Structure 1
Amino acid sequence: MKTIHRAARLALGATAGLALALSSTTAATAATWELRDLKQRMCVTPSSGHPSTYFVAAVVGSWSTTVQIGLRNLPPGSTSAGGTAIAPGSNYPNPDNGATTINGFVQISIAPLPAGVYTPLLTASDGTETQTTPVTINVKQNCY
């Protein structure tokens, strides 16, 4: 009976130790970077769309793995050839004026679309965490 209790205590101790280790690992791997919302907007006409353009990205902070920029939830018929792979490094706003360096972009071809507002998501992923920010495509007759 003592052997069963001892084995149960050892198993419980090992489980508690593993839980603590995993909780510490999760906190340590939290992203130290951020995809900034640059409030990007684009206007295109319904009949022509835009055959080749891009949205830009500002990833700030520091990261130790490649951050891949992309787009999802594209308007119908629109495509993206992909975006920048941002190498490990860092990017911080200028302390004097707050200016942020653009360090990524993603290409998009916007198909002719019915008039309306479309909101795809600009994405940044380090393979563990994915962050998104909306971009706006306004489709209307006059973009002046």
Structure 2
Amino acid sequence: MDSLDSRIIDHLRINARAGYGDIGTSIGLSASAVKRRVDRLVADGVIRGFTIQVDPAVEGLSTEAYVELFCRGTVSPAELRRILSAVPEVVDAGTVTGSADAIVRIRSRDIPSLELALEKVRQAPNVDHTRSAIVLSRLIDRVHD
């Protein structure tokens, strides 16, 4: 990957629907050259997909929380993935260093539905307890901005 590929990716991050000609004009390449590069980036797995971002509030998912997950004993990442995949409100999760075993991001309609989602997570046999923080306002979201 070279600097032109990086600039193409920067344009696609801002607008995945940007035309090859528009990108090419901006970075000094023809539309066909941009298309070839994008095709190669996709084939090489650098670009893993193109998607849309829907405002969660429009879908009725305006309540968001970050949840620290604490497990009993040793639980593999595969087991945590299995547990968390069963809870549709879980939108993001990862294992972490520190006292928690994982950090989970949950989106729900409201506080009662958030509580139900947390109960689903807590009922897993290896989960000891959770610690939650409800998001009041989103300050930075580089993934979706």
TM-score (norm 1): 0.29
Rg: which structure is higher? 1
Which of the two has greater helix per residue? 2
Which of the two has greater strand per residue? 1
Higher RCO by CA contacts (8 Å cutoff, separation 6 or greater): 1
